[in-house]
Amino acid sequence: MNVVRATVLASIAMACLSAAAAPQKALIVDGQNNHRCWPATTAMMKRYLEETGLFTVDVITHAPKGEDPDFKPRFMDYTVVVSNFGHGAAMWPEETRTALEQYVSNGGGLVVVHAADNSFPNWEAYNRMIGLGGWGGRNEKSGPYLYFDADGNLVRDTKAGPGGSHGPQHEFVVVVRDATHPIVQGMPTMWMHAKDELYDSLRGPAENITVLATAFSPKTQRHEPMIMTIDFGKGRVFHTPMGHETYSMECVGFITTFQRGAEWAATGSVTKPMPTDFPSADASSSRSALD
């Protein structure tokens, strides 16, 4: 009897361990992006998620032009959704918009990368999910402009002005502002990001938003948000304006931030350790996407 009981308990324990180790299901949605490199960046993000061993990844692609009535991903089948859409993307079908809103508000994870915060300026719930966005006619009516001042204080600027801008691409230092958050815990306080667009003047509802890291913009002379989280209902949103080009996404800082941000959005915790080749304050670090 004791042998049978022990065998049953061992089987249950092994089943629990197997379930705990089962990878999360991630979905990348793409198809309309003003950045012509989007097919390559989708492939890169898919690889980055899969190489952690934490995710299996599907990709669903919207029609390349105009509205797509057949674009109806089953968001509820996944623990995290990654948007690689961009500026000028056609509005999704109402059914699909409602499905994403319900998915996130009910506890799903969402990851917003670079130009995905340019998308859908007239979709109210989307703007609340992403916290801040740019272009597409966004301005002070869209919400405040968030930045950090020279004293390290978060400023919510409601003055009139456009939402979304950037200067020439360049390497820039990312400054961690909340080192206790799982996504950035263990990162150097300052690290050099590879050549990228440094978005500035982003505006939006900025509800339930936490700015985890910033970068100093030579254009605005202010520290602009670079790593953010947003609570939307029961859901978690990870948002980074970094990732303009393939070489931007080859930065180990971007890779690590993306992997950890996706895991946090999916599960609420981070197990992905910091890599040994993470950038320093003085030097960026990149991995070839072809390696």
**Could you tell me how far CA 182 lies from the centroid of its own chain?**
14
Main-chain dihedrals φ then ψ at residue 256, nearest 5 degrees: -65, -45
**Could you tell me how far CA 264 lies from the centroid of its own chain?**
10
CA dist 271 and 118 (Å) reads: 30
pLDDT along the chain (291 residues), means of 10: 46 44 93 96 98 98 97 98 98 98 98 98 98 98 97 97 98 98 98 98 98 98 98 98 98 98 98 97 91 58
pLDDT attached to residue 289: 76
pLDDT attached to residue 15: 43
Matching CATH number, 20-267, of 3.40.50.920, 3.90.550.10, 3.40.50.720, 3.40.50.880: 3.40.50.880
CA dist 192 and 76 (Å) reads: 37
Is 239:112 a contact under the CB 8 Å cutoff? yes
Q: 55: buried, middle or exposed (CB in 10 Å: 19+, 13-18, 0-12)?
A: buried
pLDDT attached to residue 291: 58
pTM of the model: 0.92
pLDDT attached to residue 25: 98
pLDDT attached to residue 248: 98
Task: Compute the chain's Rg from CA coordinates.
Answer: 20
